[in-house]
Amino acid sequence: MSVVTVEQRGAISIIRINRPDKLNAISSDVALELQVAFEDFERSDQRVAVLSSVGARAFSAGADIHDLPDLWRAVPGLGCKLSKPVIAAVSGWCVGGALVMAMMCDLLVATEDAVFSYPEARLGLTFGLIASLVTRMPHKMAMEVMLLGRHLSASRAYDVGFANEVVANGTHEAAALAMAEELLGSAPLVIAALKQLVNDVLPTGPVERMLATSQALAAVRESEDFAEGAQAFAEKRSPRFQGR
């Protein structure tokens, strides 16, 4: 069974982490499959994505410490650049890397029992992406979550502007789908333009900048032009670059 499922409801894609027995922890396979799901969504005619999970106990317990992922692959907008909106539908625990994923979504719906937590300082490990939390909520609140590891309730997340809506337990996907339906009434080009403009305004953290540089260099390194250039050099001829 796939650890990530995708369901289409009209022009809305529901992308779910499917490891309820492991509290939807993000393993290497989960990260890779989420990256593919977001890439497929971006290439498709789908208009809005809802990021959710199977089961009510946890949106996700964060990175699987027994199978550490390349977490950036799972993060909307980092593993794949997205011009379309993504809505996080959070129920139960949202921990560590999952908090980063929720943070990077455009909109967020949380159930009353949702709890946001970033315990990495107590575990002795961080991927660094959480630094951008200070651009999504007040600085002191973000530092309380990161440095003290204190839990952030759904109501407090709403109060500090991290969550758009707090809904009854079990209704998070329905609420996110209702929000997605609202978005379908807006012009896609305007939404894409506004999303890009907002991304240009929001400060990016050092890890995000490092990833963008690494991805740009990897695209060149893995290009057909590089293969052609190396072959042309070996054959002592002029290369025939195609720009791909």
Tell me the C-alpha distance between 230 and 53, whole Å: 45
Ramachandran region, residue 125 (left: φ > 0; alpha: ψ -120 to 50; beta: rest): beta
User: How confident is residue 56, by pLDDT bands cut at 50, 70 and 90?
Assistant: confident
List, for residues 165-178, the tens digit of each pLDDT value: 999 999 999 999 99
- What pLDDT score does 216 carry? 78
Q: Give the number of C-alpha atoms closer than 13 A to the C-alpha of residue 127, restricted to the C-beta side.
A: 24
Place of tokens 């994505």: 49
DSSP labels, 184-204: HTS-HHHHHHHHHHHHHHS--
Global pTM value: 0.89
Angle, in degrees to the nearest 10, between helices 206-221 and 224-234: 50
- What pLDDT score does 193 carry? 97
Q: In the chain, what's the furthest Cα-to-Cα distance?
A: 69
Domain 4-185 class, CATH top level: alpha beta
Cα dihedral 58, 60, 66, 67 in deg (nearest 10): 150
Q: Report whether pLDDT(179) > 80.
A: yes
Domains of the chain by residue range: 4-185
6 neighbors 37 (Cβ within 8 angstroms): yes
